[in-house]
Amino acid sequence: MKKSTNNMNFIKAVKSVLNYTKEYKKWYIISLILMVLFILSEIITNTAFSYSLSNVIEKNFDAAIKYMLAYLIVSFIGLNFLHYYHHKISKKVSIKFAQKIRLNLYEKIVKMSHADFEKINVGELFTTVENANEQMISILTKYLWAVTKVLYLLILFIIILFIDFSVWLLVAIVLVLLTILTNIYISKSKKVTNLEYEKTYEASTLLNQTILGFKELKILNVEKTYVKKYKNINDELCKLKDKKANYWVKTNVVRWDIWKVSDLFLILILIVLISKFNFDTTKVILLSTYISNIINIYFTHIIENSIDIPSFIKNIEKNMKIISDSEIKEEKFGLKQLKEINGMVEFNNVDFEYTNSNFTLKDISFKVFPNRKTALVGKSGSGKSTIMKLLLHYYDNYSGSIKIDNVELMEIDKKSLIDNLSVVYQDPFIFNLSIKDNILLSNQNASDEEFENACKKAKLDEFVLKMPNGYDTIINDKSTNLSGGQKQRIAIARAIIKNSKIILFDEPTSALDKENTQYIKELIDELAKDKTVIVVSHDMKLIADFDDIIYIDDGIIKQEGSDYNGK
């Protein structure tokens, strides 16, 4: 995955989220209205409380009770209605956002081309999808709520200016100093967060490789080596997190010092105002209440939330990068539909080169005829599997022509191509479903008779009926309750029930015993009676009686015919 060169800041991150969730615009407007109303209710309650306290001090209890009743009524409306519904709507949008971004990430992954999928960093992909959750967007919800508090802070700030300039100046200096410190923290923390994410990707990639290569890791006896690798990454990740935490702690200590010193200066200013300028009690209490609210808002809603800003920016940046990245392309298909085909396959002067690789296919030309058995043979890395991948539409950056029944491969629509091609891989992937559901993936509309026929031809009954739940047995997520031969037979049943005209086999006997090899040979003979069968294989006994054998070496066809003997 290409790294972003356009570093995102907080404003850009927020804009990205708002643009991405513009269908929820009305909810944002309602939430904003509730925010503004709540600000007004907060100002009214604070003012009412200050006047009530002032009247208590002056022993004007009737007026104090009236202000306190106003305080209680407005507080009840503000907290039980405005505050409640604002948070309810914000949470709803958060959940919807997480739901949408997870789905779009998944769709982007499954729709991307094979070529792009092979280039993607799996660890980075896993981490990005894992972080696309409600917690990520709940950070935005907190910031939207902080916006409310900032508006409230600005209104109080203006009110203080009209009450007394010297107090306003003190508050302004304190806020400027706190803002500078917060920006320093965010700047330093952002650099560490970027490194932290890179190490998280490394850890995820290593974990993924460990899971996929578990058998090799064991047989090679490299557990200690990989534990050491993971420990090194984990230690570096821990150091980065500790470094970021230290930034926060040091910055926080200075901020609290500024707060406490500002309290001292505030008291001194109020003493001067009362003693020298005969400030009345109501103004002093109002100033104290408003300033207390400003400092509280700044610390609890702005500064405390700033610790999450770098992570929020990075998460949004990574998610939006995958979703909007024009370099991650979907597969391209044509519009032509193939109804009933004969199964003729033709490669004509095809050249192909992998990205970042020296391997090339050069001037590949051959024909595969219907109702015949054709083998692609050659040493490992010669290009035979690449030819099969081109026919399966894995790549589209080839030159020359690939046709099925005289129709260009790139002109055929996706459904037509997939309906007419089946493939049985050397080590097929079996999904975490029942055996029956795994087979029906290739033809969900198959009748019971078609299902039974496919299972019979694949000889599944021999082992499936011995399982406790038969065809309803759930295959575990790593398919460890199946042998390699059993997985291959399920894949064969998938291909048979699909009833496609062209069937590809990738090294079908490489890991099979003599009995299963003979079964595969007989099955291929049976299928070739009315289908085009193409087999990639090293097994000369399997392909000895094939109609056509195409020998490939170093990306070039060296021999073609039925008389190839493996020499």
Write the burial class of residue 540 (CB in 10 Å: 0-12 exposed, 13-18 middle, 19+ buried).
middle
Q: What confidence tens digit (pLDDT) does each residue in 486-513 have? A: 888 899 999 999 989 999 999 888 767 7
Structure confidence at residue 475 (pLDDT): 86
Q: What confidence tens digit (pLDDT) does each residue in 18-72 have? A: 777 778 778 878 887 888 888 888 888 888 888 888 888 888 889 889 989 998 9
Structure confidence at residue 472 (pLDDT): 92
Taking every pair of Cα atoms in the chain, the longest distance, rounded to a whole number of angstroms, is: 115
pTM: 0.67
Please count the helices (runs of H) and the strands (runs of E) in the chain: 20, 10
Strand partners, 345: 368, 404
* Whole-angstrom distance, CA of residue 76 vs CA of residue 84: 11
Structure confidence at residue 1 (pLDDT): 45
All residues at 6 or more sequence positions from 144 whose CB lies less than 8 Å from its CB, including other chains: 31, 35, 90
Phi and psi (nearest 5°) for 123? -60, -45
* CA nearest to 148, candidates 302, 312, 311, 303: 302
Pick out the chain residues at pLDDT < 70.
1-8, 10, 121-124, 126-127, 130-146, 299-309, 324-329, 477-479, 511, 563-567
Structure confidence at residue 3 (pLDDT): 44
* CA nearest to 206, candidates 223, 190, 185: 223
Phi and psi (nearest 5°) for 359? -75, 140
Structure confidence at residue 109 (pLDDT): 78
Structure confidence at residue 5 (pLDDT): 40
Strand partners, 549: 375, 561
Structure confidence at residue 4 (pLDDT): 44
- Continuous segment of H or E residues that includes residue 404: strand 399-404
* CA nearest to 145, candidates 219, 39, 287: 39
- Of all residues in the chain, the percent with pLDDT exceeding 70 is 88
Strand partners, 505: 424, 535
- Is 507 within 8 Å of 538 (Cβ atoms)? yes
Neighbours of 337 (CB within 10 A): 12
* CA nearest to 395, candidates 354, 343, 349: 354
Q: What confidence tens digit (pLDDT) does each residue in 150-163 have? A: 777 888 888 888 88
* Whole-angstrom distance, CA of residue 503 vs CA of residue 512: 20
Structure confidence at residue 346 (pLDDT): 95
All residues at 6 or more sequence positions from 54 whose CB lies less than 8 Å from its CB, including other chains: 281, 282, 285
Strands 421-424, 502-506: parallel, antiparallel or unpaired by DSSP?
A: parallel
Q: What confidence tens digit (pLDDT) does each residue in 234-288 have? A: 999 888 888 878 877 777 777 777 777 777 777 777 777 777 777 777 778 888 8
- Is 549 within 8 Å of 375 (Cβ atoms)? yes
All residues at 6 or more sequence positions from 359 whose CB lies less than 8 Å from its CB, including other chains: 353, 381, 383, 386, 555
